[in-house]
Amino acid sequence: MISDKADTDLLMRLLQATTLRSKVIAGNISNQSTPGYKRKVVLFEDLLEQAARDGLSAREVQPEVLVDADTPARLDGNNVVPELEMDSLRKNRLLYETYIAILESHFNLIEASIFSGR
């Protein structure tokens, strides 16, 4: 359950990270035929998890766009795999929809609280 402004801010940052990730994936897809292009990935949720394990503040964690050095490249040096990008796009959409649902639930609880006189 979201309890305060910090949690709402975190959800907004999660939504922003999914938006950034969508743009990066779109860039990967549009460059799938560009020789030498290296696909990019956005890290955020993993960084938040690491910060939590290390006892650091989530407010200091920012999304990072990294070049994917793990996916093997074709002969032309490009390492974009369309199926991988589509899978990433689906996963990102599910994350976005989940964050939106949580945020909507939070605002519904606030609204119910206001109208019930609490």
Is residue 33 left, alpha or beta, with left meaning phi > 0 and alpha meaning psi from -120 to 50?
alpha
Write down the pTM of the prediction: 0.86
Using pLDDT thresholds of 50, 70 and 90, give the confidence band for residue 2.
very low
* pLDDT tens for each residue of 44-102: 999 999 999 999 988 889 999 999 999 999 999 999 999 999 999 999 999 999 999 99
Task: Compute the distance between CA of residue 57 and CA of residue 51 in angstroms, rounded to an integer.
Answer: 7
Is the confidence at residue 118, as pLDDT, over 60?
no
